[in-house]
Structure 1
Amino acid sequence: MFIAPDPGRLRLRNSARAVIGVGAAVAASELCGFSLSASITGGLAALLALFTVTDPTVGAQRITTALLPAAGFPVLALATALHGVTTVRDVAFVATVFCGVYARRWGARGQALGIFAFMSFFVTQFLHAVPAQLPELYAAMVLALLVAATVRFLLWPIERGGSPVFVPAELPGTGLSRTTTRQAVQAAVACSLALLIGQAFSEDRWYWAVGTAWWIFVNTASRGETLVRGFRRVLGTVIGVAVGLLVAVPLNGAPTPSVGLVAFCVFGIFYTAAVSYSWMILAVTVMASLLYGLLGVLDADLLVLRLVETGVGAVCAMLAVVLVLPVTTHATNDAWIQRALHCVHAATTATAARLEGDPEADPAPHAAELELLFGRARVALAPLVHPLNPFRARKERARQTIQLLDDCVNEVRALGSATADPARLHEASLVAACWRVKSAVEALTARRPGRVEAAAQETAHQAEAGPAHVHLHKLEKALSELAMPLGSSPGSRLTGS
């Protein structure tokens, strides 16, 4: 986690901004005289606004942030109204789960609104909120969103694309052939089971199991991803409970140190989200422990119960993703890898156009997009390189794919820098090299590995001095080597499940 790349210190700056945004939102609630429950609700709203709003442009992010109350307010009202009507409340919660996941078909905005709606229902269970508290909760939520938006868009505008929360790739088709529809059904089934079993363990804290099942489905798009995420969620919770026993329980809700540690946990959530789900869940678990301490209900038994409910939710999610309309790992992997390869093609096309004298051509946006796509492809491939994967051949091919895609990302980024001043370069030879790279991508995406290998061998003898030529040669070499793990023959496919 601490040695993971952080270009431009983006994760560090984003995490620091999150602490300021959430802290300012909570401070504003306290200054307005809101109750602790309302302040917690406001803090959660600010955290979600900063964490889940991931639209590709700043303008779109502002619109999504403004729309969050439209998703949260009705759900908050419904959840508080049904607080004492157990059966109807449970049905409404599962319906919220289904709609929240189904909304992901509308991209980043749908995902953010779906998460906000779910968490609005969840927080009422966490705080045992009732209708009489609604005006205060609404006020705290609006205030928090305004403060978070001010920090994000006015005081510290550091947006550069990318976010810890991704939207799963949507496969072609309609009805149950769509990824989002399948996941909505899976999540509803998983959360229904988690709700029923969780209530058997605790009538007061059953929502932990539902929350676990829900969050395991966020950022996953295949059977393999969900299974790995379930394992990592449990691992992070186990470690987080241990830390909570050592730190949160002895503090016993002491305000100053608890608030300071909550701020540190917020930083940890944002800093680790993109590189380690287990570390992020550790931070979430410790933060929840500290909040229970502030509410005066924390003890060792409560943390053990949280671990049990987390296990219930994880098992329910794993069963649902395996048994209910499963989305194969291969289909998801292939979708992200293909998108990354097309992005390499676009970056190379822009580079060639720049070298040919087009002043508007710029490969930098494509290079930035490629980094994001590679990050998502790495997540999709993670189940295949996981230590628990027993298929060694697939594991090795997945490792090769990740390494070679990483090489492509590095070479595309370096190529953009090396060709920043086309007037100082030999355009003709470089343009020809760009065309060879484009042909290599086209051959690879068309599943014609023989053509890729031939092109690479030709380029190996034609590599010329100069950084740009070297990067183009290395890029084509990486593409040629990708032909083996991505080969079209059944025995050489990266995945088969």
Structure 2
Amino acid sequence: MASDPGFVRLRLASRVTLTGLLVLGALMLLHVFSVGLSPAAFSAGLLFAIQGVVAIRETSASDRVQTRLLAGAAGFAMLALCAHLQPHPRVVDGLFLVTAFTAVFIRRWGQRWTAVGMFAFMASFGGAYFRPSPTDLPGILLAILVTGAAAHVVREILLPDRPLGDLRRALAGADHRVGRVAALVGEAARVGWTARRERRVRAAHRGVRDALDVVETLLPDEPQRGPAPPGAAPLAIELFDLNLALESVLAEALEPAGDSDEARQHLSISLRRLAGLRRRLRKASAALTEADFTSAPASPAASTPATAASIWTDEPTRLAIQVTLACALAMAGGMWLSVDRWFWAVLTAFLVFTNVQSRGDTALRGLNRAGGTAVGIAAGMVLATLMHGQFGPSLALCVLFTFLAFFFLQVSYGTMTFFLTVTLSLVYGLLGNFSPELLILRLEETVIGTASGILVSFLIFPQRTSDTAGRAVTAFLTDLDRLLQAIEERLDGHGSEWRIYAVSRALDRRHAAILVASRPLGRTWPSGARQRSVRIGRLRFAVIAHWAHRLAAASIGPVADAEGLRRELERCRSAVAGVSVPGFFERSTSLPRPVPDRGDGAVARDELDPILAARAIAHTLAQLLPGERDDAGAKLAESTGSA
């Protein structure tokens, strides 16, 4: 639970592995005792087994069944087209590109059509690679039906989602990680801080943030109407408090004056308070019931189709064109290298555009795939040679490495690619097709696909990473303004505590989106000054998010000076409106100036000062106002110190 809160990664990897084993076993039985199945049928079954777990993500069982049926039908239709068009290989190649465009374009309509597009594309890949004939179609249809049934049984019966148990496990994992941070801080306070201990504490704190991100995804959604779920509101309060207390502990432990007796006394108080909050969080977790997860969640806003005037600037259309051109370029390069194995290049070109936001993201994903493939081929050659002629151990290793690949899918794309490449090497050995030349060819095709994807992302409709990060900054500031507005409504008697919690959670997601969008900016190829600017910009948002948490937590109860808080909120909203977003990370060259505190960093939640928190947000934002940073920051700091 400490390494995988909520067992999210464990469940995903187990579902993929178990579904694959069930499908493979069922198809082998059918092949031996009933009907002979073609390689295309086996490939369709195993490809759809993986996609049936990874791509189908609806929250309700009925929605998942409908998506599974639609996706299976789309996949079979694509394989049937490939089978009937086999006498015309160039038409099949063109169909491959049309499918790639369509699969990306229909993502605009949500998770269901994203899954349908992935099934169709993987079916076109299998059709082009295994070249089924029309006589293979009954067996392919049977394999797809078996796969759908197996995936449904695993997803809904053998390994279903259990929201209450999952959330409790995630909370226990987060609690364990918080305890580790507290233990490391306490040890360092006793024996002295070193650079190594500070790195361990910061790494452990990142683990806490990751665990809290998992908890956030498992919390009940904001209801469309009515009160919040009965146990969710107290739990949200405790999570607010725990996060704030942990940040206070770290701030006090790592500040320059942390070696004084007074600082050690404050740190001791904060650690005791943190321990008390952990106990309260466990009680809130134990108080959760199934009723907390039966409220109707807020329905997502319907997607608006792009108009003719905006079609060329529409994100799904732009990405679909990029993917299609990258696949076409990879197809040409792959055919030049091998007329029989060019499909790996096209598959790589398609996948490097999955879950990316900018050209920097595409480059990182492509390099991770190429690197994982290269290392996996080296390891695969060794293992396939050692396991030659040993069917049982080779099959067991295939199962193990498939599990590990999808266990690390959400952590490292390169690691996932490594394990899948090793698995493929062992599969080639089991089929008697293994050769070092074949694996080297796969690496070369992967490099061609990676280069095609990166080249297109930089030359065709390029999305600069800084522009993507700027949009993430805009979204963060928008939700920050929504939080300030929700607090104002609360002061006027029109808002609710749950609304403040919900918007605060949305703000956390926006903060995480900024970290993801700006990640390529902090990599090794920019200059040192650019990297420092990116780090400072990310730190500034961490400061704002911290004070936003404190402001939200202090505003859910009675406020002593409502008028004073309302004035500070207006000042904050004015500062939000005045921030210039373009080039934000290039201009973040000075560290955020600290706000004079009143010494209440370790006090209880009901003693938190919302006015101080609002002033801290305005103070940090004022450092970003064009032409007013120094004057505005000085005025805010002066007003805070005199309050």
Which of 387, 399, 413 is the aligned partner of 1:251?
A: 387
In structure 2, the partner of 1:118 is: 121
Equivalence for 1:89:
92
Residue of structure 2 in register with 1:379 after alignment: 516
Question: Secondary structure, in 3 states, of the residue corresponding to 1:292?
Answer: helix
Is the contact between residue 253 and residue 290 of structure 1 (CA under 8 Å) also seen in structure 2?
A: no
The aligned counterpart of 2:161 is 157
2:260 aligns with none
Task: Indicate which of 446, 455, 466 corresponds to 2:604.
Answer: 466
Change (3 A) 1:25 1:443: farther
Is the Cα–Cα contact under 8 Å of residues 213 and 313 in structure 1 kept in the other structure? yes
Quick check: 1:176 aligned with 2:312? yes
Instruction: Give the letter aligned to residue 604 of structure 2.
Output: G
Q: Which amino acid aligns with 1:310?
A: T
Instruction: Quickly say closer, same or farther: Cα 1:483–1:414, change in 2 above 3 A.
Output: closer
1: CA distance, partners of 2:60 / 2:511:
19
In 2, the alpha carbon distance for the partners of 1:352 and 1:7 equals 35
- What does residue 370 of structure 2 align with? 234
The DSSP-based 3-state class of the residue aligned with 2:462 is coil
Taking the aligned partners of 2:60 and 2:477, their CA distance within structure 1 comes to 23
Contact 2:550 2:613 survives alignment (8 Å):
no
SS of match in other structure, 1:219 = coil
* Paired positions, count: 471
After superposition, the C-alpha distances for 1:212-261 in whole angstroms (9 at most, x for unaligned) are 10001111132221122222221111111112112234324744333333
Q: Which residue of 1 aligns with 2:187?
A: none
Give the whole-Å Cα distance in 1 for the aligned partners of 2:396 and 2:323: 35
Match of 2:25? 27
SS of equivalent residue, structure 1 residue 274: coil
- 1:88-115 per-residue CA deviation (whole Å, 9 max, x = no partner) reads 1111111111111211222333322222
User: In the TM superposition, what is the alpha-carbon distance from 1:360 to its structure 2 partner?
Assistant: 7.5
Within the candidate set 8, 13, 23, 1:15 is matched to 13
* CA 1:43–1:391: 2 relative to 1, 3 Å: same
Change (3 A) 1:433 1:202: farther
Distance 1:138 1:235, change over 3 A: same
Higher-Rg structure is: 2
What is the CA distance between 1:184 and its match in structure 2?
A: 1.3
Amino acid at match of 1:237: T
Task: Structure 1: give runs of 5+ residues left out of the alignment.
Answer: 164-169, 450-455, 490-497
Q: Given residue 319 of structure 1, which amino acid in structure 2 is its aligned partner?
A: L
1:443 matched to 2:579? The reply is: no
**Compared CA separation, residues 146 and 326, structure 1 to 2 (3 A):** same
The 2-side partners of 1:205 and 1:230 are apart by: 19
The answer as to whether partners of 2:488 and 2:569 remain within 8 angstroms in 1 is no
**Partner secondary structure for residue 290 of structure 1:** helix
The 5-angstrom pairing of residues 15-414 of structure 1 reads 15-33=13-31, 35=37, 37=39, 38-55=41-58, 60-155=63-158, 156-158=160-162, 174-252=310-388, 254-343=390-479, 361=498, 366=503, 369=506, 372-387=509-524, 389-405=525-541
Report the 3-state secondary structure (helix = DSSP H, G, I; strand = E; otherwise coil) of the residue aligned with 1:361. helix
Structure 1 residue 22 displacement after superposition? 3.1
User: TM-score, normalising length from structure 1?
Assistant: 0.79
CA contact (8 A) 1:25 1:46 kept: yes
| More displaced 10-residue stretch of structure 1: 115-124 or 291-300 | 291-300
Q: CA deviation at 1:468?
A: 6.3
Q: What percentage of aligned pairs have identical amino acids? A: 29
Map of 1:495 onto structure 2:
none
Offset at residue 480 of structure 1 (A): 5.3
Secondary structure in 2 matching 1:203: coil
- Given that 2:19 and 2:150 are in contact with CA atoms closer than 8 Å, whether structure 1 keeps it comes out as yes
Question: Match for 1:54: what amino acid?
Answer: R
Distance change >3 Å, CA 337–CA 301, structure 1 → 2: same
Residues 126-168 of structure 1, C-alpha deviations (whole Å, 9 max, x = no match): 43433322222222122212322332234421578869xxxxx
Kept after mapping to 2: 8 A contact 1:364/1:413: no
Verify the 8 A CA contact 2:79 2:124 in the aligned structure 1. yes
Q: RMSD across aligned C-alpha pairs, in angstroms?
A: 4.1
Asked if 2 retains the 8 angstrom alpha-carbon contact of 1:83 and 1:130, the reply is yes
C-alpha separation in 2, matches of 1:466 and 1:312: 58
Shift of the alpha carbon at 1:311? Answer: 0.6
Question: Which whole-Å CA distance do the structure 1 matches of 2:500 and 2:463 have between them?
Answer: 34
Tell whether the 8 Å contact from 1:21 to 1:147 is kept in structure 2 after alignment. Answer: yes
Relative to structure 1, the CA distance from residue 357 to residue 126 in structure 2 (aligned partners, 3 Å threshold; closer, same or farther) is same
Deviations 1:397-429 (A, max 9, x none): 33334445556667778998x789x6xx55556
- Paired residue type of 2:576: L
1:244 is paired with a residue of what secondary structure? helix
Asked if 2 retains the 8 angstrom alpha-carbon contact of 1:53 and 1:109, the reply is yes
CA 1:231 to 1:244, structure 2 compared with 1: closer, same or farther past 3 Å? same
Change (3 A) 1:438 1:203: farther
Task: Kindly provide the amino acid, as one letter, of the partner of residue 344 in structure 2.
Answer: W
Query: Offset at 1:481?
Result: 4.3
Please name the residue that 2:299 is paired with. Answer: none
Residue identity in the other structure for 1:10: V
Aligned counterparts of 1:62 and 1:459: Cα–Cα separation in 2: 57
The residue type paired with residue 44 of structure 2 is: T
Distance 2:384 2:546 in 1: 43
Residues in 2 aligned to 1:82 and 1:74: alpha-carbon distance in whole angstroms: 12
Cα distance between partner residues in 2 of 1:478 and 1:12: 39
Distance 1:252 1:70, change over 3 A: same
The farther-off stretch of 56-65 and 20-29 is: 56-65
Contact 1:81 / 1:130 at 8 angstroms: preserved in 2? yes
The unaligned stretches of length 5 or more in structure 2 are 164-213, 219-304, 582-592, 628-643
Alpha-carbon distance change, 468 to 171 in structure 1, aligned in 2, over 3 angstroms: farther
Describe the SS at the equivalent of 1:69.
Answer: helix
Q: Please tell me whether the aligned partners of residues 364 and 520 of structure 2 are also in contact (alpha carbons under 8 angstroms).
A: yes
Q: 1:352·1:430 contact (CA, 8 Å) conserved in 2?
A: no
Q: Within 2, Cα distance between the matches of 1:344 and 1:57?
A: 31
Distance 1:291 1:471 in 2: 62
How far is 1:365 from its partner? 5.0
Q: Distance in 2 between matches of 1:62 and 1:148?
A: 10
Q: Secondary structure at the match of 1:177?
A: coil
- The offset of 1:321, in angstroms, is 1.2
Residue type of the partner of 2:132? A
- Amino acid aligned to 2:454: M
* Structure 2 Cα separation of the partners of residues 358 and 339 of structure 1: 22
After TM superposition, list the pairs within 5 Å mapping 1:475-494 onto structure 2: 477=616, 481=620
| Cα displacement (A) at 1:376 | 4.0
CA distance in 1, matches of 2:27, 2:570: 55
Supply the distance in 2 between the matched residues of 1:482 and 1:134 (Cα, whole angstroms): 62
